[in-house]
Amino acid sequence: MECYEQSRQRAAFVVLLFIVMLGSQAQAQLRTDFYSDSCPSLLPTVRRVVQREVAKERRIAASLLRLFFHDCFVNGCDASILLDDTRSFLGEKTAGPNNNSVRGYEVIDAIKSRVERLCPGVVSCADILAITARDSVLLMGGRGWSVKLGRRDSITASFSTANSGVLPPPTSTLDNLINLFRANGLSPRDMVALSGAHTIGQARCVTFRSRIYNSTNIDLSFALSRRRSCPAATGSGDNNAAILDLRTPEKFDGSYFMQLVNHRGLLTSDQVLFNGGSTDSIVVSYSRSVQAFYRDFVAAMIKMGDISPLTGSNGQIRRSCRRPN
């Protein structure tokens, strides 16, 4: 009996080791020079399009960054969020967290079209999302990083998964945020750092109405200023947008964390990061040192880009980001 139990434990260990090795191999296939031979002009080509779009509308930088986040948190960084609905599946674009909220699809289309002319059938939409997220941060004054590439594209999307709560709602508690990020291999520090992307974002009235009228952990003058464009009545001004960072809304810096310390977080999911909980000290450290924020944000973005990528013969390189080949 003891011999059998030892054999069973060894077998379980081998299976676990095999699974870990598969995950490690998938990540190992991502590398920063993946397209150096097959599409050497990729990075400057993407940068030019993002630069042009940001020059036209500064807000699009935050939208492109959010697009990458919403893709990676639903079945991994596979560009599934870009797929339009088909007869065989309902895509992620109209799921609750994305509908009338996530934007920037046309920018990705423009980049993909230009890249396809240069390097047909070579560069995935999933990698384009990763590059545009990095370029958006850089163009808004943040710190850049070398993007790991080599992802392939999903041939399907999941409306139900996108709607299942894997994407943190603006009403999230701290525990909920920690658990959702941890499920994707991201630590509480990664979570706080990634939340700092709100330094360049906007939110709709419907997502913060309850906080500015009902919360007690909010600066009163801040709440009153937000109420001017967000009426208390449900359905009134729901889509009116407000900036998440009042001090420097068009600069990728650490002022978002300064606002949290002063109880001026616009979303409930913002303020819970500094509300007497386990992440208070991280918020304080970022409010005092933008370099600490930059360092941890870059590390967290690289980790997020490693969430369940399709590599090797999995998935495909879509010719259009909106539909499978």
Q: State the DSSP H helix or E strand holding residue 13, giving kind and residue range, or none if neither.
A: helix 2-28
Q: What is the pTM of this model?
A: 0.90
Q: pLDDT tens digits, residue range 27-52?
A: 458 999 999 999 999 999 999 999 99
4-23: pLDDT as tens digits: 444 444 544 443 344 344 44
- Average pLDDT estimate for 257-261: 98
> Cβ distance 154 to 79 under 8 Å?
yes
Higher pLDDT, 7 or 207: 207
Catalytic-residue membership of 263: no
Please name the helix (run of DSSP H) or strand (run of DSSP E) that holds residue 270, with its range, or none.
helix 268-271
pLDDT of residue 317: 98
Q: Is 40 annotated as a binding residue?
A: no
| The residue count for the chain | 325
Are the C-beta atoms of 84 and 149 separated by less than 8 Å?
A: no
pLDDT at residue 200 tops 50: yes
For each of the domains in the chain, give its residue range(s) and CATH number, in order of start: 42-162 (1.10.520.10), 174-304 (1.10.420.10)
Is 309 annotated to bind a ligand? Reply is: no
Q: Which two tokens stand for residue 260?
A: 């949290």
Residue 253 counted as an annotated binding residue = yes
Shortest CA distance to 182 belongs to which of 203, 166, 171?
Answer: 166
For residue 251, is pLDDT > 50? yes
**Is 78 assigned a ligand-binding role in the annotation?**
yes
Q: How far apart are alpha carbons 310 and 42 in whole angstroms? A: 20
Sign of CA dihedral 311, 313, 319, 324: negative
The beta-strand segments (E) located in the chain are 202-204, 241-243
Would you call 131 helix, strand, or coil by DSSP?
helix
Q: Is 76 annotated as a binding residue?
A: yes
Query: At 89, is the pLDDT very low, low, confident or very high (cuts 50, 70, 90)?
Result: confident
- Which residue(s) pair with 241 in the sheet? 204
Q: pLDDT for 161-172, tens place per residue?
A: 999 999 999 999
Q: What is the pLDDT of residue 25?
A: 45
Say whether 71 counts as a known binding-site residue. yes
Give the pLDDT of residue 17. Answer: 40
Query: What's the rounded mean pLDDT across residues 148-155?
Result: 98
Query: Per DSSP, what are the bridge partners of residue 204?
Result: 241
Q: What is the pLDDT of residues 179-193, one digit of tens each?
A: 999 999 999 999 999
pLDDT per position as a tens digit, 296-318: 999 999 999 999 999 999 999 99
pLDDT digits (tens, 9 = 90+) for 227-243: 999 999 999 999 999 99
Q: Which of 59, 66, 70, 318 is catalytic?
A: 70
pLDDT, the chain, mean: 92
DSSP per-residue letters across 40-84 = TTHHHHHHHHHHHHHHH-TTHHHHHHHHHHHHHTTTSSSSGGGPP
Was 33 annotated as part of a binding site? no
CA-derived radius of gyration, the chain? 21
Tell me the C-alpha distance between 62 and 77, whole Å: 18
- The predicted model gives 278-288 an average pLDDT of 98
The predicted structure's pLDDT at residue 28: 54
